[in-house]
Amino acid sequence: MTEIKIKNELKWAHIKVAVVAAKWNSFITDEMLNGALDALKGKGLTEGNIYSMRCPGSFELPLACKYCFDHLDVDAVVAIGVVIRGGTPHFDYVCESVTRGLTDLNLMVGKPVAFGVLTTDNVEQAVERASLDKGNKGAEAAISACEMIELSRSIQSSQ
């Protein structure tokens, strides 16, 4: 058995990551975006290698993330959105579409697309998951993207 050990000697200063946040429910996605940017800086990425941008809503996240891979030559993208259940079935369609779109993009590009999309029953649940003290899901998604870059590099260097 060969165990692939995650190597932590990556030079993060050369890694490029984009964070895309939906404008819908921006009072929450702003917090998640800030959390993600802080997490990336904490990991050692240089400011010049971090891109941040906004797209209209969560439905647009997959295409906006694809634009980043196509035009910014990034190693990973962090997608941030908040979809809150309303009185119509729209919630299910937006959630299904963004989840499938981001999953497909991961596999199509072969690079990490972190899922920082909250799908909640109400505003309170979303606010709780974007807070600094109780855990910021934007920051967690950014760290997941970094961990996947590390995993990919560790597998490649083990060959």
Q: Which residues are catalytic?
A: 90
Q: Judged by CB, which is closer to ligand RBF: 84, or 146?
A: 84
- What is the rounded CA–CA span in Å between residue 75 and residue 138? 17
**Measured from the CB of residue 41, what is the shortest distance to ligand RBF in angstroms?**
25
- What is the rounded CA–CA span in Å between residue 147 and residue 64? 22
Distances (CA, A) of 134 to 42, 111, 137: 18, 29, 10
Q: Using the rule CB under 6 A, is 57 a contact of ligand RBF?
A: yes
**Measured from the CB of residue 138, what is the shortest distance to ligand RBF in angstroms?**
14
**Binding test (CB under 6 A) with ligand RBF, winner from 20, 45, 77, 81:** 81
- What is the rounded CA–CA span in Å between residue 36 and residue 29? 10
Show contacts with ligand RBF in window 5-44 (CB under 6 A): 22, 24-25
